[in-house]
Amino acid sequence: MKKAIILYLLLSALLAPLPAQHSAARLWNEAVLDGIRGDLARPTVHARNLFHTSLAMYDAWAVYSETGDTYLLGKTVHGFTCPFTGTPIPEDIKAAQEEAISFAAYRLLRHRFADSPGWRDLFYEIDLLMDSLGYDQGNVSTDYKCGPAELGNYIAEQVIRYGLQDGSNEAGEYANLYYEPVNPPMLVEAPGNPEILDLNRWQPLAFTTFIDQSGNPFGNFAPPFVSPEWGRVLPFSLNRNNAKIYERDGNPYWIYHDPGPPPYLDTSAVGGLSEEYKWSYALVAVWSSLLDPADGVMIDISPASVGNITEYPGDIFEYHDFYNLFEGGDTGQGYALNPKTGQPYAPQVIHRADYYRVLAEFWADGPDSETPPGHWFTIFNYISEQPELVKKMRGQGPVLDDLEWDVKGYFALGGAMHDVAVSVWGIKGWYDSVRPVSAIRGMAELGQSSDPALPHYHPGGLPLIPGYIELIEAGDPLQGQSGEYIHEIKIKAWRGPNFIEDPRTDVAGVGWVRANFWWPYQRPTFVSPPFAGYISGHSTYSRAAAEVLTAMTGDPFFPGGLGEFHCPKNEFLVFEDGPSTDLTLQWAAYRDAADQCSLSRIYGGIHPPADDIPGRRIGQEIGVQAFQFAEQYFNKTKVPREVSELKVFPNPASCVVQVEFEYEGEMPVKIYSADGRLERALSVRFANKQGFVNLDGLANGLHVIVGFKGEKDRFFEQKVVVQAN
């Protein structure tokens, strides 16, 4: 019940106030996001779903547009050819666009989410949506010359065909073809990490009880690595000729933006990048000590104090100055004034722990989440509702109507999110790096690496940080009944799910825990995403999306200089009770939201700094490139067709024939039976030297189409055969 309330509040806050009527694209995007929330948490798969539904809606809009060029329809993309010879342009173009968009999205959603845990709820929702729009779900024809519904069905069919050969292994339920983890699973409920073989490689997590997105329990389950081979999936704007193809065990791993390896732990000696590995994961442990609202620490979380980072660290050795080890946060100093109003931002002073916990959950990608790429579609929808936003491409030119704004925004954002998934998961699969829960527990098993003169020394152990990471001494409450835990490592941290009986009312709090029982701030049935850490998908998705929104609006700032999301007291948090007071997340710029998202993964205990900064940099590059690539389609004027002689096709035809003829404008056309009887008189509009003649309702058999110049003079005469289904 609490989750349902939270989801309602989430949507209400981000989408209110709602206009009287959304565009068709917006309605279907909301349906896609609902489908993702009810599915398995697969960021790669859902970035692809968002991109494919967005391109389907964009093409359904562009085919009727005077300037927008299609992406897949009538094109060859990555060697896949989508045949298309045109469709009639009706008088009510917007209605045709909306109908084609609806059928394309509807068919694609029913295909992509057929095996989702939440398929029943989604199918009920989209069936109702089709009914409310007045469309016939039973129309499954793909004869795109017959009308917008058939065109939408055809686009969905072609996108599905494209997806079945794009390298995602959709037909095999996206299963991995060759990747195998080198480490055995770690049972998270058990202490320590005694079975790990390589602290530099990813480790699966095993659960005595794993609960999926629909609440179904599975015993003794270790979720496999999600999409380690995703780098080979066909991208949007990325150039496959620029990809590096590495090989491990004879199998290829595609990488488009190679950041180089993360810092590796050397378990035989101290020094070098091994110390950066230790520092990076130690920071995650220290930041988990900041999650107790009872500590009384108050901070201002308004844009007056948060955001406005001027530059990122140049290399890993500068991370120490960028991240605040003991207080959390980064070098952002906030803004003296709201750039839109010229007034100072009102301070918002709240409990530090409430803020950090809310960030960890708001940007989460576990159960019931629309995953990181979906978050940014939600934010795009939010800014599109703001009255201060003027819907001009790059902030210039004519004001776009809601439909054009939405389809172009979804297309560019979807392409960027898909490119991020392809690039980041290529990196994840190849470098295969460890997550904090495995690294922290694993180093704790080895000991401490700070002082050879102290007990439990090991060069690969955790660094000791007084007040945060220490040795258990005699007399310590953690020493055990007979002192069996003396000289083990302890961490001052969030105490974990074992201290929460009812997450609706309980708070775990912060205290000293044995390091081999350290937990990230996550649900006990999720713990960490089932894929490698390096690099952070959240950081990359978010910075790429921020660049797309900046380019699309022509402004780096949220409308009015402020984006907000309200988190009510004792209602928003799910992992445990909270926040202890009402608070509102606030951002001045899109990049501030992206930077906040990046930090949230560290507060949540699932990424160290070493995963973060490379993702932000790569996201910046992908976002700019993807939007520029999308713009080529927005700005492309359709090239006049060369027509040397009359062409009429298909022939035989069922409901419509396409006529190619050197003519522009309205032409009187008459249709005669084989014995010369006039059957139909109509006006056909020729645009770009093509027109469409409606044959619907004519009897099967031979007919004659005649195009007239004036009352009597004939342009052409053509026999056609009607062969209705």
Residue range 174-196, pLDDT digits in tens: 999 999 999 999 999 999 999 99
Q: Nearest to residue 24, comparing CAs of 92, 88, 97?
A: 97
Residue 368 lies in a domain: yes
Residues 455 and 602 in one domain: yes
Residue 148 lies in a domain: no
**Domain with 615 in it: what CATH number?**
1.10.606
Residues 552 and 694 in one domain: no
Residues 618 and 657 in one domain: no
Residues 268 and 337 in one domain: yes
Residues 276 and 318 in one domain: yes
pLDDT beyond 80 at 316 = yes
Residue 593 lies in a domain: yes
* pLDDT computed for residue 367 by the predictor: 57
The whole-angstrom separation of Cα 586 and Cα 564 is 5
Q: Nearest to residue 101, comparing CAs of 66, 73, 67?
A: 73
Residue 93 lies in a domain: no
SS3 168: coil
**How confident is the model over 111-116, as a mean pLDDT?**
97
Q: Nearest to residue 538, comparing CAs of 409, 377, 437, 420?
A: 420
Query: How far, rounded to the nearest angstrom, does the alpha carbon of residue 265 sit from its chain's CA centroid?
Result: 31
For residue 568, what are the CA distances in angstroms to 354, 494, 522, 580?
A: 11, 22, 20, 9
What are the residues whose beta carbons fall under 8 Å from the beta carbon of 597, sequence distance 6 or more?
363, 372, 375, 538, 539, 542
Helices (H), 38-170: 43-62, 93-112, 119-133, 148-163
Residues 473 and 601 in one domain: yes
Q: What angle do CA 312, 318, 323 make, to 5 degrees?
A: 70
Helix axes 537-553, 590-603, angle to 10 degrees: 170
For residue 86, what are the CA distances in angstroms to 94, 264, 671?
A: 17, 56, 21
Last residue of a domain, one of 614, 638, 662: 638
Q: Please write the tens of the pLDDT for every residue from 41-70.
A: 899 999 999 999 999 999 999 999 988 999
The answer to whether 540 touches 625, Cβ cutoff 8 Å, is no
Residue 48 lies in a domain: no
* Mean of pLDDT over the chain: 93
Q: Please write the tens of the pLDDT for every residue from 197-226.
A: 999 999 999 998 877 655 667 788 999 999
Residues 610 and 666 in one domain: no
The total domain count for the chain is 2
Residues 499 and 417 in one domain: yes
**Domain with 664 in it: what CATH number?**
2.60.40.10
Q: Please write the tens of the pLDDT for every residue from 368-410.
A: 689 999 999 999 999 999 999 999 999 999 999 999 999 999 9
The answer to whether 434 touches 443, Cβ cutoff 8 Å, is no
The whole-angstrom separation of Cα 631 and Cα 393 is 10
Extract the tokens encoding 200: 């530099």
* pLDDT computed for residue 219 by the predictor: 80
Q: Please write the tens of the pLDDT for every residue from 7-36.
A: 334 434 433 443 448 999 999 999 999 999
Last residue of a domain, one of 619, 638, 657: 638
Residue 238 lies in a domain: yes
Residue 409 lies in a domain: yes
Residue 167 lies in a domain: no
Residues 658 and 597 in one domain: no
Last residue of a domain, one of 621, 638, 655: 638
Range of the domain at 499: 178-638
Band (pLDDT 50/70/90 cuts) for residue 90 is confident
The whole-angstrom separation of Cα 242 and Cα 203 is 30
Residues 618 and 686 in one domain: no
Residues 588 and 685 in one domain: no
SS3 586: strand
Residues 526 and 624 in one domain: yes
Q: What angle do CA 351, 583, 565 make, to 5 degrees?
A: 140
Cα dihedral angle (272, 536, 508, 513), rounded to 10 degrees?
A: -20
The whole-angstrom separation of Cα 264 and Cα 428 is 15
Is the link from the previous residue into 520 a cis peptide, with omega within 30 of 0? no
SS3 513: strand
Output the pTM of the full model. Answer: 0.90
The answer to whether 413 touches 377, Cβ cutoff 8 Å, is yes
* pLDDT computed for residue 11 by the predictor: 38
What is the number of other CB atoms lying within 10 angstroms of the CB of residue 644? 7
Q: Please write the tens of the pLDDT for every residue from 452-499.
A: 999 999 999 999 999 999 999 999 999 999 999 999 999 999 999 999
- H/E element holding 379? helix 371-384
